[in-house]
Structure 1
Amino acid sequence: WLRHSYFDTTHINGTGDTLSATIAAEIAKGQSVANAIRIAHDVTTAAISSEIAVGHQFGPINHWAAQSVN
């Protein structure tokens, strides 16, 4: 249903939290469920695709990269 490229990274901590929080926030702002999921998918993908050099072996996703998505 929604597709994006695969990113070979170990910086994936927080992906589920980011996805679910963005869906909830977009629904609260008045988006439809389907559109909220699309936006959350784009935000999470942007955060995964732009690594940030923090943490140890398995670091967090880069939430700052997602600022321009929505």
Structure 2
Amino acid sequence: MDLSKAFKVFNEDGDGYISTRELQAVLGKLGLSGGSEIDRVEKIILSFNLNLDGRVDFFEFKDMMRSVLV
């Protein structure tokens, strides 16, 4: 899987970070029930946001994908 392409799907505005809103939008498009609940999306962001800036950068995204794919 090309993670840089996957990251671009999540990073809709192209700023290099996945925001809560962007993650919620993609999860919703995928039909995942948790995507509609902002509290759950915020918890996902927080669990992978190592530098605590409230967003997921590419390196944090890689860790997030590794945990999902394992």
Higher helix share: 2
TM-score, length basis structure 2: 0.41
TM-score, length basis structure 1: 0.41
